[in-house]
């Protein structure tokens, strides 16, 4: 772990902020490839990437993990820091990127709330972010929760509970699918930074500031984006949030991490590292074209025996049984519920009768129901 003196505007702090970060061996980075910067989740630290960073280094990536202002082991106790809110965190992150990383366009990785911070940063400073990686990211839950409106004494009590061992142990258990990883050591590592001077005041100020609100920014973020999500996440429901990023972002692809909860970077670091490095090198695959309307937004594969569950690639949904070789329909072909297969077939037949299709592969009318489980 290293500490870098980051100069920030006086609106954030007087003087420099000692900022903790780690990076892969400088000799392992491949020339010409974009650096990777990783942002941890709410009230966490760069130690969250203790398993992922070495894996990225083994694959030849130039990767950094930094403590977000107000959390981790970055300076909290100087008394010269004026704000720990969202704007201050964004300003501090930009200064770190410019001063410690040389201002090179980067691949920004955000886990959980770190995803919201990454989205916010990419929206405000698009020149800084070449690509985005969102790991079980918070993007559609705005604000810092009910703590923002609590009276002072209750808010302080809430902060003390936040740092307590029982709450951290519960969060630790919820984060993993493989409970053998939810160890006492993991709890100790996860709350180590809460013992730093100034942690409680910094956390209280962030909570009262209102936090990050990025849900309305998501559709306007144009960077190529990889969405990684633990299939068994019990903290941020994949059914509510994972595919929503793909639906709302112009250029996003979803990759499921199997047998994994909320923290793929801790529970499945090998798979997570491989997915990130592949994305950095090759980007997202080209989008396929809808066989019905020749559009580019795909929703369903029809040449399926109904045995396989669907996977999402970019905005493409295919089933395991046919691996995407079957006929497909996009959102513009649907009426009503976008997952209503019968309605989709009816709409396709109407378009066929109207002579509007000119299809390469019109969807079969006998496609099975219920394969999108």
Confidence of residue 354 (pLDDT cuts 50, 70, 90): low
List the one residue out of 161, 163, 164, 181 whose CA is nearest residue 172: 181
Instruction: Please give the distance of CA 214 from its chain centroid, rounded to a whole number.
Output: 12
Selected residue with higher pLDDT from 227 and 203: 227
The per-residue pLDDT for 152 is 57
Region of 370 on the Ramachandran plot (φ > 0 left; ψ -120 to 50 alpha; else beta): left
Pick the most confident of 80-84, 189-193, 198-202, 256-260.
256-260
The per-residue pLDDT for 95 is 96
Report whether pLDDT(66) > 90: yes
Among 123, 203, 233, 265, the active-site one is 233
Extract the tokens encoding 4. Answer: 């870098």
Spatial distance between the Cα atoms of 213 and 256, rounded to a whole number of angstroms: 25
Q: What are phi and psi of 49, to 5 degrees?
A: -105, 20
Each domain of the chain, given as residue ranges in start order, spans: 2-282, 286-373
Among 44, 45, 83, 112, the active-site one is 112
The per-residue pLDDT for 303 is 36
- 112 catalytic residue (yes or no): yes
| pLDDT tens, position by position, 145-178 | 555 555 556 556 667 777 678 888 888 899 999 9
Domain 2-282 indexed as CATH 3.90.650.10:
no
**pTM for the whole thing?**
0.74
List the one residue out of 190, 174, 182, 173 whose CA is nearest residue 45: 190
Report whether pLDDT(292) > 90: no
Report whether pLDDT(48) > 90: yes
* Pairing of the two strands 106-111 and 36-39: parallel
The per-residue pLDDT for 196 is 84
Report whether pLDDT(349) > 60: no
- 45 catalytic residue (yes or no): no
Selected residue with higher pLDDT from 330 and 243: 243
Report whether pLDDT(16) > 70: yes
Pick the most confident of 74-78, 205-209, 210-214.
210-214
Q: What average pLDDT does the structure give for the chain?
A: 77
- 203 catalytic residue (yes or no): no
Mean pLDDT of 51-59: 95
The per-residue pLDDT for 93 is 96
The percentage of residues in the chain with a pLDDT greater than 90, rounded to a whole number, is 47
Spatial distance between the Cα atoms of 187 and 108, rounded to a whole number of angstroms: 26
Q: Look up tokens 């910094």; give the residue.
A: 202
């Amino acid at each position: 772990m290293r500490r870098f003196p980051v100069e920030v505007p006086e609106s954030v702090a007087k003087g420099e902020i000692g900022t903790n970060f780690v990076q892969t061996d400088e000799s392992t980075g491949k020339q010409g490839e974009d650096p990777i910067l990783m942002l941890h989740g709410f009230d966490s630290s760069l130690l969250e990437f203790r398993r992922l960073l070495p894996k990225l280094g083994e694959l030849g990536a130039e990767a950094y993990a930094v403590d977000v202002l107000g959390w981790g082991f970055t300076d909290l106790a100087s008394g010269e820091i004026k704000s720990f809110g969202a704007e201050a965190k964004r300003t501090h992150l930009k200064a770190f990127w410019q001063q410690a990383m040389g201002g090179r366009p980067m691949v920004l990785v955000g886990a959980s709330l770190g995803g919201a911070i990454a989205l916010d940063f990419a929206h405000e400073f698009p020149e800084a972010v070449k690509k985005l990686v969102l790991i079980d990211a918070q993007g559609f839950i705005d604000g810092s929760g009910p703590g923002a409106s609590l009276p002072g004494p209750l808010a302080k009590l809430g902060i003390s509970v936040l740092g307590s061992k029982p709450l951290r142990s519960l969060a630790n258990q919820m984060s993993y699918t493989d409970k053998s990883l939810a160890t006492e050591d993991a709890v100790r590592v996860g709350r180590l930074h809460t013992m730093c001077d100034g942690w409680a005041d910094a956390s209280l100020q962030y909570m009262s500031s209102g936090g990050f609100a990025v849900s309305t920014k998501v559709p306007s973020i144009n960077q190529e984006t990889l969405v990684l999500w633990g299939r068994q996440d019990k903290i941020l429901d994949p059914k509510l949030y994972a595919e929503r990023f793909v639906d709302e972002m112009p250029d996003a692809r979803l990759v499921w991490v199997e047998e994994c909860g909320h923290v793929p970077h801790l529970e499945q670091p090998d798979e997570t590292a491989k997915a990130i490095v592949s994305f950095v090198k090759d980007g997202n695959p080209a989008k396929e074209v809808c066989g019905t309307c020749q559009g580019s937004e795909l929703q369903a594969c029809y040449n399926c025996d109904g045995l396989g569950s669907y996977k999402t690639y970019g905005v493409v949904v295919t089933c395991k049984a046919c691996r995407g070789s079957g006929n497909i329909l996009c959102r513009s072909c649907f009426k009503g519920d976008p997952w209503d297969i019968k309605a989709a077939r009816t709409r396709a037949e109407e378009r066929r009768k109207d002579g509007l299709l000119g299809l390469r592969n019109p969807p079969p009318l006998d496609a099975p129901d219920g394969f999108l489980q």
